Structure 1
Amino acid sequence: MGLKEDKQETCGTICLKYLLFTFNFLFWLAGGAVMAVGTWTIVEKSDYISLLSSKIYAVSAYILIMAGVIVMVTGVLGCCATFKEQRRLLRVYFVLLLCVFLLEILAGVLAYIYYQQLNEELKENLRETMVQKYHQPEQDHVTKAVDKLQQEFKCCGSNNSSDWADSVWIRSGDAQRRAVPDSCCKSPVIQLCGERDHPSNIYKVEGGCISKLGNFILNHLQIIGAVGVGIACVQIFGMFFTCCLYRSLKAEPY
């Protein structure tokens, strides 16, 4: 009878080991995906981040990068702990899983909070940033971001092209009689194309760049939130398998 129970326990332990190993492999791949999303946000969209007064969008991305790195390290540690059947390693692995779980939930919550306040922030700050800082000393990053925004999203001005009439740069002699920046033009390669602000020459978009940038960031925040919360939910299974395997192993002698 005792031999039969030991055999059943051994089979259960083996099943748990392979379940946990499969989970760790998938978890390691997921860590790479999480890190990739965070890195893409920071590297490829850093220009747009400079147009936002709040840092929540950037912080959410950095949290995802940190969580992705920890996930990949945790996945390797989990495989080692599983096959070596060491309770101490399993304890460390469980704590790391819990930390990553909390980080990803935090990233998801931050993304959701910022999702709620994004439109108000853009309405309050984007116009002022564009008219006050465009082509001003030590504001090259803003100038580059605005030009990229207007060209990529085919828009002109925060709400519409008439916003540029209040621009510090347009009112100065440096604008060389431009009514809008050349980045508003449908053919920006033409020198001083911003002199003519007719719809045939420049982008006239309802809602201006606020609506375009707002929709872009909202969509990206949904990705950040979904990735963070989705993987965090999957981790619950990993923590459950870890607890089961931990309990099935005999206590280590001290």
Structure 2
Amino acid sequence: MGVEGCTKCIKYLLFVFNFIFWLAGGIILGVALWLRHDSQTTNILYLQLGDKQAPNTFYVGIYILIAVGAVMMFVGFLGCYGAIQESQCLLGTFFTCLVILFACEVAAGIWGFVNKDQIAKDVKQFYDQAFQQALMADSDSSNGKAVVRTFHETLDCCGPDAVVGTLTPLWRDDLCSKDFLKGLLEADASCHKKIDELFSAKLYLIGIAAIVVAVIMIFEMILSMVLCCGIRNSSVY
């Protein structure tokens, strides 16, 4: 015997929320794959300075997002099917998956908040080491110059700060392609600032997506519990 009345409305409401949840999982998966293959981040984070690889902390977060998006799509499908079939077993499994996913999202959010400044800091330290190596190198045998030029061309910057970025083109035009006048006009285009802007913008996007998903998950947990109670009561009668 199927559910009736308000419980039936909750059933279809849960289906709609699960469909939105499934779509959100697909969007998060797509955004994560885009961030993973974004030309700016890949150009920088694939660099290698001697035997030292560029910091990959950012990619750890991206891989977590990819996994979360894929799991969300599976859980959303499970919730849709469980709601339509009015299956307490499927809805119970769906609720358990939601709780686990919500806990993982909270843990990932805490990890991201703790490491958000560290990501940019590590990349800036890597750039500073490459910049110093490029300035001190007597020949092109070191790849420091290639690393620095990649940063400069990708982020359209020059030097770790405004002063160095303005003066460097005067005597090292092999590192900065900007002329001196343009360096004066764009004195705020330091690489440290550009690195901060690059990662803060992407982390801001990830944070918004996480908040939206968390709100949807809370609603779904409430609806799934109410629907399970309604199905149990209707089966008794």
> What TM-score comes out, normalization by structure 2 length?
0.77
Contact 1:34 1:227 in 2 (8 A): yes
Assess, with a 3 A threshold, how the Cα gap between structure 1 residues 18 and 136 changes in structure 2: closer, same or farther: farther
Q: What amino acid sits opposite 2:109 in the alignment?
A: G
User: Match for 2:159 among 157, 160, 163?
Assistant: 157
Query: 1:102–1:130: structure 2 CA closer, same or farther, 3 Å change rule?
Result: farther
Equivalent position to 2:22, from 28, 32, 51 = 28
Secondary structure (helix, strand or coil) at the match of 2:180 reads coil
Give the aligned partner of residue 112 of structure 2. 111
Of 226-235 and 215-224, deviating more is 226-235
Partner of residue 179, structure 1: 172
2:9 is the counterpart of 1:15: yes
Letter matched to residue 155 of structure 1: C
Q: 1:116 to 1:155 in 2, by over 3 A?
A: closer
Q: Does 1:38 align with 2:28?
A: no
Distance 1:63 1:129 in 2: 29
Tell me the secondary structure at the aligned position of residue 102 of structure 2: helix
Q: Once the two structures are superposed, what CA deviation does each residue of 1:173-211 show, in whole Å capped at 9, x if it has no partner? A: xxxxx82435x214xxxxxxxxxxx41476863362111
Change (3 A) 1:163 1:81: farther
C-alpha contact 1:74 1:97 (8 A) present in aligned 2? yes
- 2:25–2:69 contact (8 Å) kept in structure 1: yes
The answer to whether the Cα contact below 8 Å between 1:87 and 1:246 also exists between their aligned partners in 2 is yes
Aligned to 1:72: 73
Say whether the 8 Å CA contact 1:131–1:164 is kept in structure 2. Answer: no
1:250 CA displacement: 2.5
SS at match of 2:103: helix
Asked if 1:218 corresponds to 2:210, the answer is: no
Moved more, 110-119 or 54-63: 110-119
Q: Displacement, 1:49?
A: 2.9
Change (3 A) 1:53 1:111: farther
Distance 1:101 1:143 in 2: 43
How far residue 155 of structure 1 moved from its aligned partner, in angstroms, is 0.9
Separation of aligned partners in 2, 1:19 and 1:151: 50
Per-residue CA distance 1:42-91 (angstroms, 9 max, x = gap): 11122333468654322111111111111111111111101111111111
Q: How many residues align?
A: 220
Of residues 211, 224, 228, the one that matches 2:210 is 228
* Structure 1 range deviating more: 47-56 or 93-102: 47-56
Map 1:110-149 to 2 at 5 A: 110-118=111-119, 120-132=121-133, 143=146, 146-149=148-151
Asked whether the 8 Å contact 2:120–2:199 carries over to 1, the reply is: no
Gaps of 5+ in 1: 1-5, 166-177, 187-197
Task: Pick closer, same or farther for the CA change 1:101–1:49 going to 2, 3 Å.
Answer: farther
- C-alpha distance after superposition, 1:74-126 (max 9, x if no partner): 11111110111111111111122223222332332232222233554355332
Gaps of 5+ in 2: 48-52
Residue number in structure 1 paired with 2:228: 246
CA contact (8 A) 2:158 2:189 kept: no
Separation of aligned partners in 1, 2:146 and 2:108: 29
Larger Rg: 1
Match of 1:96 in 2: 97
Residue aligning to 1:199 = 180
* C-alpha distance in 2 between matches for 1:114 and 1:143: 28
Distance in 2 of aligned mates of 1:60 and 1:16 = 35
**Cα distance in 2 for residues equivalent to 1:149 and 1:119:** 13
SS of match in other structure, 2:188 = coil
Aligned partners of 2:222, 2:101: CA distance in 1, in Å?
A: 15
**What amino acid maps onto 1:151 in structure 2?**
E
Aligned partner of 1:43: which letter? H
